[in-house]
């Protein structure tokens, strides 16, 4: 309990600073870094010195890579190999080579120059996405290209987690090739172990756990898989984060992917926040005056190199110059993953504290400078190419459409299955969620995109980006869960239409009051269909029948409800 007061101080300071950052629309990652600076050993005031802090914070990167792996399973990576994956990989490789060559010519050792290149190649998906959302540029050509490439940077940066720790133990040129080769061989072995375990064990394990319908059991299973994979790669002499990425890739191929992501997200956010606090604690403000010119040059190198490389790459695939330059400005910002690579390099003694300070400060400065460039990207490009500010209309290559479904279907029972068949037969893309693993299995056998998950879980809805859907259809036979889902969707995405199934008129009224556009009570709808069939057999015209049914529905079933109350 000796560190209890320090933990309370850390939590209090984090809450205050992160809330301030959110109010000022500053990325929360910068807020965590500021907490680390304030509570670090290089500034006046209280200092946090909890022995287990760095070990715990390291798992933030593990869960970050775990969730990235969930989004990019092997089939998805293979399908995208000719699209944005090529752009993302090309940008990372070219930036690493260019910056590394410049650093090497400046007199730095080859291993250190490589780390500079790898760190400078990263961009902040958080800053890019948040600024685009604020500016209403999420669906623009440059916005979609920028976000897609920044996400793929995280995937293509995974090999750095294997290579950088090795550089600290193989500085001699004659030993480096052999050590790197051995590290890559161990990485291949780790991939094989996790791959076969994922194919043979993970799906049966999560089927068994999901049948218990216990969120606690499911959470424990997710933690076990992620940490076991991290432990496996660590025992092989590789990074913990590499194991987390492999486990995420394997689970990304299963029907449990979205629910797993919703479970892992809170752990990732909290632990990643602690990781950035730890990075901030390594930052020494008093070290800046002697190195300020190097940090400015470093930040300019980050920004300029990526603007030029990204713009050239995008121009080469046929996109017009305005979109290419604006995408380059999007990706000019430094990245949080670059800070993670700095921490790996410092821990592996590839770079010393002095160079570490230059790297950290350069990345932080580039985050600020890059954010300004993103904010004014349109005006900058208009000045640069001397054109008006009208939006371009040229086509861009097809981007990955993960989590961008036209319909989200909650529930895959008899009603949900019927809706899915109708959607599928009309070529309407959708994603279905159900908490019964047997229904999920049957749905996938039917050829439908059915995943395990609770549609009333806010974390799950956030992980599938439900706000991008065109419509949500709830077919649950659980009124409480339907009401939770409708309430959350109406609160967070008020323009998203929701159609719900209701068991009776009272449930229908509650769902409509909560924000559903339509809520059809099963008992009354069945009665209406029976009545319509009877009228048809009695030779009543179809137009008259449809008019009567439409009137009842438009009046919220009040005529039927009034008759029922009169009968009572």
pLDDT value, residue 474: 95
* Interatomic CA distance for residues 196 and 206, integer angstroms: 16
pLDDT value, residue 170: 52
Query: DSSP letter at 515?
Result: T
DSSP output for 81-100: TTTHHHHHHHHHHHHHHHHH
pLDDT value, residue 35: 92
CB 117 within 8 A of CB 103: yes
CATH 3.40.50.720 assigned to domain 407-567? The reply is yes
Instruction: Output Rg (C-alpha) for the chain, integer angstroms.
Output: 27
pLDDT value, residue 521: 87
Buried (b) or exposed (e) across 216-226, using 16+ Cβ within 10 A?
A: eebbebbeebb
pLDDT value, residue 73: 67
Which CATH architecture group holds 4-385? Up-down Bundle (1.20)
pLDDT value, residue 401: 40
CB 305 within 8 A of CB 63: no
Low-confidence ranges of the chain (pLDDT < 50): 171, 389-404, 564-568
How many other CB atoms are there within 10 angstroms of residue 466's CB atom? 23
pLDDT value, residue 412: 94
Residue boundaries of the structural domains of the chain = 4-385, 407-567
Buried (b) or exposed (e) across 354-386, using 16+ Cβ within 10 A?
A: ebbbbbbbbbbbbbebbbebbeebbebbbeeee
Single pTM value for the model: 0.74
C-alpha angle with apex 490: 486 to 493, nearest 5 degrees? 120
- Residue 446: phi and psi, rounded to 5, are -75, -5
Q: What is the pLDDT of residues 347-371, one digit of tens each?
A: 888 898 889 999 999 998 998 898 8
The whole-chain average pLDDT of the chain stands at 83
pLDDT value, residue 400: 40
Closest CA to 161 of 184, 189, 145: 184
How many other CB atoms are there within 10 angstroms of residue 204's CB atom? 9
């Amino acid at each position: 309990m000796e560190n209890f007061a320090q933990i309370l101080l850390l939590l209090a300071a984090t809450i205050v600073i992160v809330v301030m950052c959110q109010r000022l629309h500053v990325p929360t990652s910068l807020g965590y870094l500021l907490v680390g600076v304030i509570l670090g050993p290089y500034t006046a005031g209280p200092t946090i010195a909890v022995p287990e802090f760095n070990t715990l914070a390291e798992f933030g990167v593990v869960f970050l890579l775990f969730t990235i792996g969930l989004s990019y399973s092997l089939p998805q990576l293979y399908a995208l190999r000719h699209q944005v994956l090529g752009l993302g990989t090309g940008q990372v490789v070219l930036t690493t080579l260019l910056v590394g060559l410049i650093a090497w010519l400046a007199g730095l050792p080859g291993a250190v120059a490589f780390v500079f290149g790898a760190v400078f190649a990263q961009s902040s998906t958080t800053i890019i996405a948040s600024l685009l959302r604020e500016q209403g540029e999420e669906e623009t050509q440059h916005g979609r290209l920028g976000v897609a490439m920044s996400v793929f940077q995280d995937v293509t940066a995974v090999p750095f987690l294997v290579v950088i720790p090795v550089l600290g133990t193989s500085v001699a040129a004659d030993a480096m090739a052999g050590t790197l080769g051995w590290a890559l061989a161990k990485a291949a072995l780790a991939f094989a172990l996790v791959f076969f375990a994922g194919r043979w064990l993970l799906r049966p394990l999560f089927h068994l756990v999901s049948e218990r319908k216990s969120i606690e059991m499911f959470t424990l299973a997710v933690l076990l898989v992620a940490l076991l994979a991290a432990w496996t790669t660590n025992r092989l002499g590789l990074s913990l984060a590499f194991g987390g990425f492999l486990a995420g890739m394997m689970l990304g191929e299963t029907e449990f992917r979205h629910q797993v992501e919703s479970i892992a997200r809170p752990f990732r956010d909290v632990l990643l926040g602690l990781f950035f606090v730890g990075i901030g604690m390594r930052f020494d403000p008093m070290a800046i005056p002697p190195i300020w010119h190097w940090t400015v040059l470093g930040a300019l190198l980050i920004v300029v190199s990526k603007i030029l490389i990204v713009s050239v790459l995008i121009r080469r695939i046929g996109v017009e110059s305005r979109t290419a330059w604006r995408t380059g400005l999007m990706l000019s910002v430094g990245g949080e993953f670059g800070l993670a690579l700095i921490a790996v390099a410092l821990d592996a003694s590839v770079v010393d504290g002095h160079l570490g300070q230059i790297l950290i400060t350069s990345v932080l400065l580039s985050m600020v400078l890059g954010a300004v460039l993103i904010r004014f990207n349109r005006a900058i490009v208009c000045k640069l190419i001397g054109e008006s500010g009208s939006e371009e209309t040229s086509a861009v290559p097809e981007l990955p459409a993960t989590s961008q479904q036209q319909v989200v279907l909650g529930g895959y029972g008899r009603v949900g299955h019927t809706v899915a068949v109708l959607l599928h037969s009309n070529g309407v893309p959708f994603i279905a969620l159900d908490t019964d693993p047997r229904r999920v299995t049957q749905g996938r056998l039917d050829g439908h995109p059915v995943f395990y998950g609770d549609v009333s879980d806010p974390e799950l809805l956030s992980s599938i980006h439900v706000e991008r859907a065109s419509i949500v259809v709830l077919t649950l036979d659980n009124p409480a869960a339907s009401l939770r889902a409708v309430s959350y969707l109406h609160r967070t995405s008020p323009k998203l239409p929701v159609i719900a199934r209701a068991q009776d008129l009272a449930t229908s009224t509650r769902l409509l009051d909560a924000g559903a556009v339509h809520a059809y009570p099963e008992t009354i709808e069945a009665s209406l269909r029976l009545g319509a069939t009877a009228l048809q057999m009695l030779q009543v015209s179809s137009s008259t029948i449809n008019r009567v049914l439409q009137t009842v529905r438009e009046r919220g079933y009040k005529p039927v409800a009034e008759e029922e109350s009169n009968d009572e």
